[in-house]
């Protein structure tokens, strides 16, 4: 849920072009993730309050494309 909100905030603030991939890098505890989404022109217009309705086929779908779990190295090595 938070990942989706971060995508929306980025799309509203940075205004990338439609149909271009947008990447989000985020951390959850000891895990790093890279997710990607490709917003349509209709979706961008909707979240920027340029239209009041959005067809259900125009929702933003993001996909996790990479995940990494890391562990802290021992300090007594």
- Point out the residues of the chain with pLDDT beneath 50: none
Q: Tens digits of per-residue pLDDT, 36-52?
A: 999 999 999 999 999 99
Q: What is the pTM of this model?
A: 0.74
Quote the CA–CA distance of 34 and 66 in Å, as a whole number: 5
- For position 1, what pLDDT does the model report? 63
CB-based burial of residue 68 (10 Å sphere; 0-12 exposed, 13-18 middle, 19+ buried)?
exposed
Q: Indicate the SS3 state at residue 12.
A: helix
- For position 73, what pLDDT does the model report? 61
Whole-angstrom CA distances from 72 to 29, 30, 61, 69, 76 are 12, 9, 33, 10, 12
- For position 20, what pLDDT does the model report? 93
- For position 70, what pLDDT does the model report? 76
């Amino acid at each position: 849920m938070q990942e989706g909100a971060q995508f929306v905030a980025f799309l509203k603030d940075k205004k990338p072009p439609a149909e271009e991939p947008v990447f989000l890098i985020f951390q959850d505890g000891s895990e790093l993730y890279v997710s990607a989404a490709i917003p349509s022109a209709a979706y961008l217009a909707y979240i920027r309050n340029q239209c009041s309705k959005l067809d259900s086929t125009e929702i933003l779908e993001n996909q996790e494309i990479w995940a990494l779990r890391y562990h802290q190295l021992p300090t007594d090595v």
